[in-house]
Structure 1
Amino acid sequence: MQTADFIIVGAGSAGSVLAERLSASGRFSVLVLEAGGSDRRFYVQMPLGYGKTFFDPAVNWNFKAEPDPGLAGNSDHWPRGKILGGSSSINAMVWVRGAREDYDDWRDAGNPGWGYDDVLPAFKALEDNEAGPNAWRGRGGPLHVSDMRGKVHPLTRLYLEAGRQAGLPLNEDFNGRSQEGVGVYQLTTRDGRRMSAARAFLRPAMKRGNVRVETGAHVTRVLFEGRRAVGVEYEKGGRTLQARAGREVILSGGAVCSPKLLELSGVGDPAILKQHGIAVVHANANVGEHLQDHLGINYTWKARQKTLNQVLRPWWGKALVGMQYLFARSGPLSMSLNQGGGFFRTDASRPRPNVQLYFQVFSTVLPKPGERPILSPDPWPGFSIGLSNCRPASRGAIHVRSADPNDAPRIVPNAFSTNSDVAEMLDAVKYLRKLASMPALAPVIAEEVLPGPSVRSDEDLVADFRRRSGTVYHPVSTCRMGPDAATSVVDPRLKVHGLEGLRVIDASVFPSNVSGNTNAAAIMTGWKGAEIVLEDQG
């Protein structure tokens, strides 16, 4: 049986940071258990290669949500990283922290130490931002953030001008003073390779003698003595093994796997646990509840000028960009699907932006089975503008399907289950057409392909976004943080209410979702969480 001071379950965005920070002094031993395998794969390291990992069971849990009435009965695909680096190894690499108000909301919900002024030092400390340090950006940290403003496709410049013509300011840094406006996204890449949490944090930690990382280690339950977590049980290579924690067990499985593991371990709603024959160790009906996620949709146009479709679709184009990437680590393969983006308010009376924009210089209307068709775009020139809601009111849940650890959990998003979410999305999709009608973009548009000019009435627009919308892969809050065990799972120190020696540190603890991509906030949570753990160790 292995022993370590700290056992970290999951080598993802937060878990990788925890492993590095908790082991840095040499004072503590750390065991990291990861169900997936190595991140040293070509399509993981190549930034645009995430189209190949979107359905790949070798690196992806490939979860599937339940049929959702809010999405016209569709069962949404939920990719989550099953690999060193977790979802930071298969995501779109956009580095958006969220708005100041998001974190102040966390603090005001009864979580001292989690306001914007509290988390900003953590963001700055972990960053190595190519754009240079200032009041908001950090330089010299482990995680390199690339400034892509000089590398985007010319059509992205037209999108930025269209945003300005529509009344949005040009925003040079969505992580700076304000989110509002249009601009070019910063990416977690370096020298043309993905800068995942594994590359930035876990790989350096693995060089230390006090860190052990086991891959292919699927943790099936937390072990308790009384109300104290003392270790974990896990499966590896067909064997059932145990590991003991001298100080703490830390769950970093993310918004899907952390609540699942708590329930498998007997921590959750007694009615759900008893339904599946799981003995109750500690009752907390909040486990797996309060699920929040961002929902997105693309509008697509056929263009009058060349887009990346004409480069990435033909064999000779693939060969060209492939050589460009292999020999110079540059070109389209070194970037993300989303080059431009932004944040806007669907109503001027709103105090802050409530919708995020994504600009993509190619189109994928014609899908390729078994693959997100990033590397096989449409045979005609096209581009898309997408959006997602920032703070939806709808709430879902994630719970175990059975007592078998190998069964995928039951994911119920409850998308668009509130009138306010439907009304907000209706206003948002109308804004996409406003952007496309601006003088900068209108001349390059040949026709609207999706949803098409026939979709005009409010009723038809709502039906369309219910049918075509889906997760943008930002689930949070299923083990949410709060001061009261009656409404939350962990306290502001990230300790599981009512238990000892057990914390959850990942995106599942977010009290509410952040405005924008969640990976930056998850990495910050790992950094801040490590600080809290070390403080509590004295």
Structure 2
Amino acid sequence: MKDDAFDYVVVGSGSAGAVMAARLSEDADISVLLVEAGRRGRNPMIAMPAAAWINFARPTYNWRLFTVPQPELLGRAIYMAAGKVLGGSSAINTMNYMRGHPMDFDGWGHAGATGWSYSAALPYFKRCESYRSAEYSEFRGYDGPVGTTKARAWGPLQEAFLAAGAETEAGLTDDTNGYRQEGFFTFDQTIADGVRQSTARAYLRPALARPNLRIAVRTQAHGVAIENRRATGVVLAHAGQARTVRARREVIICAGAIRSPQLLMLSGIGPAEHLRGHGITVVLDAPGVGTDLQDHVEIQLTWRCPRPVSHSRYLRPDRAALAGARWLLKGDGIGATTGFEVGAMLRSARNVPVPDTEVYLYPALLDGDRPHLTMHGFGIGMNLNRCKSRGTVRLAMADPTGAPLIDPRYLSEPDDRTFLIDAIEWAREFVDRRPFDGLRGAEIGPGTRDPAEVDRWLRRELIGNWHPAGTCRMGTDARAVTGPDGRVHGIESLRVIDASIMPQVTNANLNAPIMMMAERIADMVCGRALLAPEPVAIYRP
């Protein structure tokens, strides 16, 4: 990297950063530097959907963060995956394409993010997407960069899940990203022609030949250079050498809900007393930086399966090798799926306005963080998408190479625990339905009906869903960090664009809404007219 100055310096190449760099560099007169701490990620295991489980465990492409010990979870430090590779977490996630409920985005506007609404977001969701379907929907995009398809792998467990779902009050929905989010469905996935559609593949690969786009991998941002409350560049480190690269127009931080607030605090933007405690000169006392950390939480109930129909049958080394070879040659077979084929979005009570519960079938048992190789079984995952518990991200040290202190305060609000206890009972009743007859063996987890033991099991097994958000949230109140365009309040020429600016985490996975946000804010940065809002009717129970 020989140049010392660019018009825009984008930090982080994930679901937001890759989109921003690609869109900004469409103007040949604008120079863009995209900074990524990880590698380029040329390993075919990134492109192969079934290998997602391998990438979760590999530090090569993963920051492998941990929370501080959680008092309500028996003092456990909870693992949190985060992508460290071109494409960020979009290169290692489970590829479920879920936008969230329309009322999520209307709620952002009500929370002070003026201009955000579902009708404003919809045209940008459509711009992102190339939906592979023979049926047209006004909710979907068909010529965008990111290929999406319905999950294809199938079997008796998936059939039983949907058949049991059809018997419930929620019933089935044919498109959870369309008119009706609520119900049981086949997942949409960021997979096309059997290949993962990360933002690196979808957005950066077509832009690589542009002479005005420079990508610096294995390069970590250590801080934002600020003069007179204006961002002027970024301090970067590569191969042990540090240098400052100037940004003539803007610095755009897209490092995610954990690393973005860390980078702001290292740059002197954050809670003043906390910064002084680490010997950092305060540039701007911004008490909201690193606060309001939100995440989805997950618990998975498990059962043995008396029939050999779980995904474990594919995982014997010889069969896994054959599946990998087939995927390399044809791009199909079990290697082209993730194991997450069917799920549901449900309301926890009739008076809840939007689905706040995500349910999924995992057609195998887990042995640690990987599928079990020999024992047949299945899991029903229950995700709470509207946690009341809120946490923080704080500096552990002033050293930018160290991980920050991540404290989601899981289950610190008693209502979250009550919700999950009820969810456990719902899952049991669901699996007791007739379609699971012949597939439902002994319950493994919790494996007890004793309330005290179930509570202990919950605290021992609960994990975060790796969907952190809200730590640099948009708004107009005193604790808001950014405005509706991602600009950092009180600092010129500095934006944050990623899940950290969400006023409220969406009721679904985060990859899709983050790409949408980046598409929309890219138009703002470039001074282009925003796409016209698209008011549409949505299902209301």
Q: TM-score, normalised by structure 2?
A: 0.95
State the alpha-carbon separation in 2 of the partners of residues 456 and 269 from structure 1: 46
State the alpha-carbon separation in 2 of the partners of residues 152 and 88 from structure 1: 24
1:136 alignment counterpart:
139
Query: Over residues 153-191 of structure 1, what are the superposed CA-to-partner deviations in whole Å (9 max), with x where a residue is unaligned?
Result: 332011001112233211111111121111110110111
Query: Over residues 497-516 of structure 1, what are the superposed CA-to-partner deviations in whole Å (9 max), with x where a residue is unaligned?
Result: 01100000111100001001
1:397 alignment counterpart:
392
1:180 alignment counterpart:
182
Asked if structure 2 preserves the Cα contact closer than 8 Å seen for 1:71 and 1:470, the reply is no
SS at match of 1:444: coil
Asked if structure 1 preserves the Cα contact closer than 8 Å seen for 2:224 and 2:267, the reply is yes
State the alpha-carbon separation in 1 of the partners of residues 78 and 315 from structure 2: 26
2:425 alignment counterpart:
430
Asked if structure 2 preserves the Cα contact closer than 8 Å seen for 1:166 and 1:438, the reply is no
Asked if structure 2 preserves the Cα contact closer than 8 Å seen for 1:259 and 1:287, the reply is yes
State the alpha-carbon separation in 2 of the partners of residues 325 and 237 from structure 1: 36
Is 1:33 matched with 2:35? yes
In 2 relative to 1, CA 19–161 (structure 1 residues): closer, same or farther, beyond 3 Å?
same
- Cα distance, 1:344 vs structure 2: 1.2
* Aligned counterpart in structure 2 of residue 503 of structure 1, from 495, 501, 512: 495
Runs of 4+ aligned structure 1 residues displaced above 6 Å come to none
- Cα distance, 1:310 vs structure 2: 4.1
SS at match of 1:155: helix
SS at match of 1:446: coil
- Cα distance, 1:337 vs structure 2: 2.7
- Cα distance, 1:416 vs structure 2: 0.9
* Aligned counterpart in structure 1 of residue 377 of structure 2, from 363, 382, 386: 382
Query: Over residues 404-453 of structure 1, what are the superposed CA-to-partner deviations in whole Å (9 max), with x where a residue is unaligned?
Result: 1111100001001112111111111111111100000133112111111x
State the alpha-carbon separation in 2 of the partners of residues 143 and 7 from structure 1: 24
Is 1:50 matched with 2:52? yes
State the alpha-carbon separation in 1 of the partners of residues 374 and 220 from structure 2: 42
Query: Over residues 181-224 of structure 1, what are the superposed CA-to-partner deviations in whole Å (9 max), with x where a residue is unaligned?
Result: 11110110111111001101112122211100000110001001
1:116 alignment counterpart:
118
SS at match of 2:82: coil
1:254 alignment counterpart:
256
1:529 alignment counterpart:
521
Query: Over residues 129-176 of structure 1, what are the superposed CA-to-partner deviations in whole Å (9 max), with x where a residue is unaligned?
Result: 11254111110111101122x532332011001112233211111111
SS at match of 2:150: coil
Matched to 1:134, the amino acid is: S
Matched to 2:138, the amino acid is: A
Matched to 1:401, the amino acid is: A
Q: TM-score, normalised by structure 1?
A: 0.95
State the alpha-carbon separation in 2 of the partners of residues 529 and 90 from structure 1: 24
Asked if structure 2 preserves the Cα contact closer than 8 Å seen for 1:304 and 1:446, the reply is yes
Matched to 1:350, the amino acid is: V
Asked if structure 2 preserves the Cα contact closer than 8 Å seen for 1:223 and 1:230, the reply is yes
With 177-186 and 318-327 compared, the bigger mean Cα shift is at 318-327
1:414 alignment counterpart:
409
Asked if structure 1 preserves the Cα contact closer than 8 Å seen for 2:156 and 2:309, the reply is no
Query: Over residues 253-310 of structure 1, what are the superposed CA-to-partner deviations in whole Å (9 max), with x where a residue is unaligned?
Result: 0001100000000000011101100000111010000000000011111112222344
1:449 alignment counterpart:
444
Asked if structure 2 preserves the Cα contact closer than 8 Å seen for 1:127 and 1:139, the reply is yes
- Equivalences for residues 295-314 of structure 1 within 5 A: 295-314=297-316
- Cα distance, 1:378 vs structure 2: 4.1
State the alpha-carbon separation in 1 of the partners of residues 67 and 361 from structure 2: 26
SS at match of 1:257: helix
2:148 alignment counterpart:
145
Asked if structure 2 preserves the Cα contact closer than 8 Å seen for 1:9 and 1:33, the reply is yes
- Cα distance, 1:241 vs structure 2: 1.3
- Equivalences for residues 67-78 of structure 1 within 5 A: 67-78=69-80
1:492 alignment counterpart:
484
Is 1:480 matched with 2:483? no
2:285 alignment counterpart:
283
Matched to 2:467, the amino acid is: H
State the alpha-carbon separation in 1 of the partners of residues 169 and 455 from structure 2: 25
Matched to 1:380, the amino acid is: M
Asked if structure 1 preserves the Cα contact closer than 8 Å seen for 2:296 and 2:467, the reply is yes
SS at match of 2:35: strand
- Cα distance, 1:23 vs structure 2: 1.1
With 322-331 and 275-284 compared, the bigger mean Cα shift is at 322-331
In 2 relative to 1, CA 51–151 (structure 1 residues): closer, same or farther, beyond 3 Å?
closer
* Aligned counterpart in structure 2 of residue 224 of structure 1, from 223, 226, 250: 226
Matched to 1:531, the amino acid is: D
State the alpha-carbon separation in 2 of the partners of residues 380 and 217 from structure 1: 43
* Aligned counterpart in structure 2 of residue 342 of structure 1, from 341, 344, 367: 344
Q: Which runs of 5 or more structure 2 residues have no equivalent in the other structure?
A: 531-541
Matched to 1:137, the amino acid is: R
Matched to 2:456, the amino acid is: A
Asked if structure 1 preserves the Cα contact closer than 8 Å seen for 2:316 and 2:373, the reply is no
State the alpha-carbon separation in 1 of the partners of residues 140 and 436 from structure 2: 32
- Cα distance, 1:330 vs structure 2: 1.2
State the alpha-carbon separation in 1 of the partners of residues 311 and 136 from structure 2: 36
State the alpha-carbon separation in 1 of the partners of residues 180 and 29 from structure 2: 40
State the alpha-carbon separation in 1 of the partners of residues 362 and 339 from structure 2: 6
SS at match of 2:188: coil
2:533 alignment counterpart:
none
Asked if structure 2 preserves the Cα contact closer than 8 Å seen for 1:426 and 1:458, the reply is no
